[in-house]
Structure 1
Amino acid sequence: MIETYFAEAKRNDELTLQKRIRQVNDDPVVSGLLHVVSGLLAILDDKRQIISLNDSFCAMLGIQSPVETLGLRPGEALHCIHAHEGPAGCGTTKFCSTCGAAIAIVASLTSNETVERLCAMAVDKNGHTTDIALKVRSQPIEIDGNRFVLLFLQDITVEQHRAALERTFFHDISNMLTGLLGASELLYYENSQSNLAKIIRNLSVRMTKELTIQKLLINSDLSAYKPKCEPVDAYESLKELQDFFACHPLTESRKLDIAQPLHSFSITTDRSLLLRIVSNMISNALEATSKNGKIKIWLKKETNRVSYCVWNQAVIPQDIGRRIFQRNFSTKDGAGRGVGTYSMKLFAEEYLGGKVDFSTSKEQGTIFRLTLPC
């Protein structure tokens, strides 16, 4: 008996293997799947041997024809560095009992149900070991009384790498911000009359809150954010925005014209979200303004509401204006765009009970408004 540390070691003989290959090729449904599915798809027999691959899988392996992999097991075809560490190959080594792909295939054959797992695999690429991450789905099927497995693979290496980097980044930045916030509080306590100490303290608080919001945005878990509503002085909020943009790169060659209200008043809202939304409005206006131009910011107070207004001279084309608040829509190149205006409207309307809108024309330029209940 061939030694195995996890899955069955025995393979089908050449005659049986060729018979299974013909069965799959002659079945119109399976043959159709191989041509229709755009992701990575392999057909395995009951001994976990490959009997067919689709074109996407062949392209990933860098081969011209599935014939080169027939009879191999998935780890052998993918060049897993552990696939040949046992006499019976893939699925039977000491490493296979913790392999997501091997577990999914064996579990689905045992339970006759679809099983999905994540697989971390170290593969040999031209003599160098590379780590890849796969999402594996194993679906057992029966053709003419014989059992087969539809093995769907999705390469999620980039996504896993990015998630790991994000987790590390947020952890490290959170630790640094905690220290910065403590130091800024101490600085402000010892120099309460210093405007610079106040600016540093306010920015430290904003950065700490912004980090929380960014984590929720990335994880699409904004429902976890709980607004902290407190009285916010309208004059102070504009002053804080002015201090924030005083040394901003976009204001080096552009003027920021902020009209302070004639009378001081307060609104009850989440300070961090308020400043975040209006900061985005100001940043967008500055980016749309040519050098030596200016933008205007003012407050419009009405009986039961107040509007933060941001003006610039540029005009938004009608076709772009229709989709300006749509998530992932952007007129700028590059991945990761199309969140700024979307998040402005989302935070204002879902969390602050307010509204974000805009008006644009050749005569009046463009005005973005954040309107909040007083």
Structure 2
Amino acid sequence: MPNQTTTIRSSAEDLSLQRAVLSTERHLCELLDAIPDNVMLLNENRQILYANKTLEQFCAAHGVFGLIGLRIGEAFSCQNANCAVEGCGNAEPCNLCGALDASLIALRGQPSSFECQILRNSRRGPDALDLRVSGTPLHWKSGPAVLLVASDISHVKRRQVLERLFFHDTLNTAGTINQIAEMLMHGILDFEAAKQDLWQASQMLVREIRGQSQLFAAENEELRVEFGLVLVRELLESVAALFRNNEAGLGKRVVIKEETAGLLLLSDNALLTRVLGNLLKNALEASHPGEVVTLGCRREETDIVLWCHNEGVLTREVQMQIFRRSFSTKGSGRGIGTYSIKLLSEKYLQGKVELVSTPQTGTLFTLTFPIAPRQENPVAP
């Protein structure tokens, strides 16, 4: 449970008094405004007493104004900031927040620095923000305070993940094509025996490159959505076929529930295939040989619900971080698949992604989409 340091908030009167003291520190405010990073001065209850111009401009660009009295998660529109009555720092996922750690440690008198991954509620859907948050303790006339610097390192994290994916996944697939080509060159394989494997490997290489291109466009709000009629059963069968001979699916079985027959959805088939492909790949990689991964779909009034189930269980810590861009259960620099599922589904396909994982039920991801979505592109101009 959160301690008193995180739950108490200063009254408007106390904030006004602290701001009055700060107003006498004109040179300090000018110095903070000259810093090109997001800088804020927090009081003993982690509420903003002063935000420099860089931070004000950043938050204003994302529809947040009037920062005085807010906490860092509220200023950055963190999805968890309003999950608890007491506000930022009090929801269960906040126990893993680097910005909260930096603030609390600095209030105890020690400087600190942590990475912080925030999934934000922006005006155009979910948006990932990676920060390096540094907290420095201050002691001044109105009591203990924290100088918090939040440097945006999203571009660094994005590059690291994309580089890792390129050098790992794409290079592995290209290596498979090269091996088949060498075996053909040396007469070890004949073309008839190799052509199916060669075709599948080349298809996977194209999908991986196209997927990274789509994600790059999505994060830069340049992705175009082309809505058309999607036959759900055919969609699920085509996604399952992608992994029939894939390494992730070896020794595992993919089952498609029968009730999917006859269901229709208006959506972008290519993006939906990408979303379900990432979902199925994650489920297969989390499964053991002999286990079953199930795909299904059902209609709920004006929505279509697609789902993917596997027998494994995610820890609570993983569940709280799984949709963050830089988080992965596969090791450093591998996180992007589950984040892209949420990004494409909620920001572009007008859907909603949910997760339930328990020892009793296994792991179930559900994707809910309107049968008849808005026809205008929700993001791109």
Q: Bigger relative contact order, structure 1 or 2, given CA contacts below 8 A and separation 6+? A: 2
Give the structure with higher Rg (CA): 1
**TM-score, length-scaled by structure 2:** 0.45
**TM-score, length-scaled by structure 1:** 0.46
